[in-house]
A and B are shown apart, each in its own frame.
Chain A
């Protein structure tokens, strides 16, 4: 892993990752997304993260800040840049790339 990548992962900085997960109550995909997100954070961010769960079933207007279409959707607020990952995060590789925790060459 390169130094840049380690920094991006928060492993060489004290930067705390701020993540917001938009859910629709207790649907299977929403529950799965939260479970998968926690697992990914524990493995790759080592405690340097905050997860905020926003239940759009309870209040759909809370999606105003971000352009949410499908649920669940994860928004990486910090570190910049802001990124969105749609889905239950069951595809770990896609989730890591989306969070910029892993780069791919093409």
Chain B
């Protein structure tokens, strides 16, 4: 059987292996231009290909120069469609102006909460964090907001429970049955915390 690798997969592999160092971007022939990548960005891309979080690199004009596989999965969009496409095309209309401002300002560690429009038409709330900006390229991490909010709420609840256990321990429980109950509660908190970490690392 002849090998028939899809162009998108071929593109993904070439980028992950650091075999390309430029992209052709622009909406039409008149607008086409070549954007060069620096060596540091190629190494960055190899790293983010293995991440569980969405990662994109954009020009200040909002062209997607790179997106990892996870980001494509989040949007339910083939990777090949993302390259060199304007990011705003995947953002809900009300959020587009804020996204443009976010990219133009390009302040490191700045965040913005926006809604992406997935391929099936559903909205996906997400937090964008600009982790690096250099030579006209913005490196952005994308986290699904619902998961982020849920994880934070769960972490807050666990911290409250931990505080209660510490308070009870400090009070010096004399009753053996009460001590056992507190110990059991402490173990369950640890188990829940571990579970939360696992869910966070696999679902973000």
Q: Do A and B bind each other?
A: yes
> Cβ of A29 and Cβ of B21 under 8 Å apart?
yes
- Output the nearest chain B residue to A73 by Cβ-Cβ distance: B20
> Cβ of A60 and Cβ of B26 under 8 Å apart?
yes
* Interface majority SS (helix, strand, loop, mixed), chain B: mixed
User: In the bound complex, how far is the Cα of B24 from the Cα of A24, in angstroms?
Assistant: 9
User: In the bound complex, how far is the Cα of B17 from the Cα of A90, in angstroms?
Assistant: 10
With a cutoff of 8 Å between Cβ atoms, the chain B residues found around residue A98 in the complex are: 5, 10
Is A1 engaged at the interface, CB distance under 8 Å to the other chain? no
Is A105 engaged at the interface, CB distance under 8 Å to the other chain? yes
Tell me which of B31-39, B130-138, B180-188 binds A.
Answer: B31-39
> Cβ of B83 and Cβ of A56 under 8 Å apart?
no
User: In the bound complex, how far is the Cα of B21 from the Cα of A28, in angstroms?
Assistant: 8
Rounded to whole Å, the gap between the CB of B29 and the closest CB of chain A is 5
Please tell me the size bucket of the interface on B. 20 to 34
Is B176 engaged at the interface, CB distance under 8 Å to the other chain? no
User: In the bound complex, how far is the Cα of B181 from the Cα of A7, in angstroms?
Assistant: 79
Q: Which of A64, A84, A88, A98 has the most CB of B within 10 A?
A: A88
User: In the bound complex, how far is the Cα of B17 from the Cα of A89, in angstroms?
Assistant: 11
Within 8 A of A (CB), among B58-100: 80, 83-84
Is B102 engaged at the interface, CB distance under 8 Å to the other chain? no
- Output the nearest chain B residue to A28 by Cβ-Cβ distance: B21
> Cβ of B2 and Cβ of A29 under 8 Å apart?
no
User: In the bound complex, how far is the Cα of B33 from the Cα of A56, in angstroms?
Assistant: 8
> Cβ of B36 and Cβ of A24 under 8 Å apart?
yes
With a cutoff of 8 Å between Cβ atoms, the chain A residues found around residue B21 in the complex are: 24, 27-30, 71
User: In the bound complex, how far is the Cα of B21 from the Cα of A25, in angstroms?
Assistant: 11
> Cβ of B20 and Cβ of A70 under 8 Å apart?
yes
Q: Which of B1, B14, B15, B26 has the most CB of A within 10 A?
A: B14
- On A, residues with C-beta under 8 Å from B are 24-25, 27-30, 56-57, 60-61, 63-64, 68-72, 84-91, 94, 97-98, 100, 103-106
Instruction: Show 11 A/B contacts (Cβ-Cβ < 8 Å), sorted by A.
Output: A24-B21, A29-B22, A56-B22, A60-B24, A60-B26, A69-B83, A70-B14, A71-B21, A97-B3, A104-B2, A106-B3
